Amino acid sequence: MRILVVEDEKKVASFLRRGLEAEHYEVDVVHDGDAGLARALATEYDLVILDVMLPGRDGLDVVRELRRRACRMPILVLTARATLPDKVTGLDVGADDYLTKPFEFAEFLARVRALLRRGAPASPPTLVVSDLTLDPATRNVLRAGRPIELTPREYALLEFFMRNRGRVLSRALIAEHVWGVHFDSFTNVIDVYVNYLRRKIDSDVEPKLLHTVRGVGYVLKEPNP
């Protein structure tokens, strides 16, 4: 499942990212309200976690705008404001849960799990590109009926490709969505992982699905009819 964290305190954001990734969630992090709103509107998240006191648009304004636009993903608000009126306000504007700082990480994870259960569809749709299938519910990947074993990073990379099938993805976009970092043009880690993935899904089988677009990036697509 994919989670967006909107937190301006970078140490706190890093702590939350590491803890959530240790639980095998895919995590994106931004540090201000405007970026958080834009990311939440552009990407399908299973959960949004955001602080109230943010640069630019504050957290409650983000919640209001998301609900105004009929975005129904669960939202967990984090804040140092511990008074009852503050909690009531946060829930009234559309947040699903409210956790005051400081908090125990075990409680935070329990609330995350509860919100994800509440917002999860009964059966997430299986992603299909040609004879390649990925089941988000079980994380099983098959190519022509053959099981494929992937590392967590390879799985996240493949899921991002399959959710954007037919779309050419730049290395910067892949880095941002799969690694959650700004792209460093001096590293070849994305190319390395794409090659790992290509060997697993395209080796000894036709048609080839994962293609390089020179000077641009990569694309996963159906074979031409």
pLDDT in tens, 112-128: 999 988 765 545 678 89
User: What single-letter DSSP state applies at residue 128?
Assistant: E
Peptide bond just before 85 cis, omega within 30 deg = no
Cα–Cα distances in angstroms (integers) from residue 142 to residues 126, 135, 208, 223, in the given order: 11, 9, 14, 17
pLDDT tens by residue, 36-61: 999 998 888 999 999 998 998 989 99
The pLDDT of residue 121: 54
The angle subtended at Cα 56 by Cα 16 and Cα 53, nearest 5°, is 50
pLDDT score of 183 more than 60:
no
3-state secondary structure of 129: strand
pLDDT score of 187 more than 80:
no
pLDDT tens by residue, 90-112: 788 888 998 888 889 999 999 99
Alpha-helical runs (H) found in the chain: 10-22, 33-42, 59-68, 84-92, 105-119, 152-163, 171-174, 189-202
pLDDT score of 144 more than 80:
yes
Number of alpha carbons in the 13 Å side-chain half-sphere of residue 40? 31
3-state secondary structure of 24: coil
Residues 6+ apart with CB under 8 A from 18: none
Mean pLDDT of 134-145: 89
pLDDT band at 181 (very low <50, low <70, confident <90, very high): low
Amino acid at 33: G
Distance CA 119, CA 75 (A): 10
Q: Is the pTM of this model over 0.85?
A: no
115: Cα separation from own chain's centroid: 15
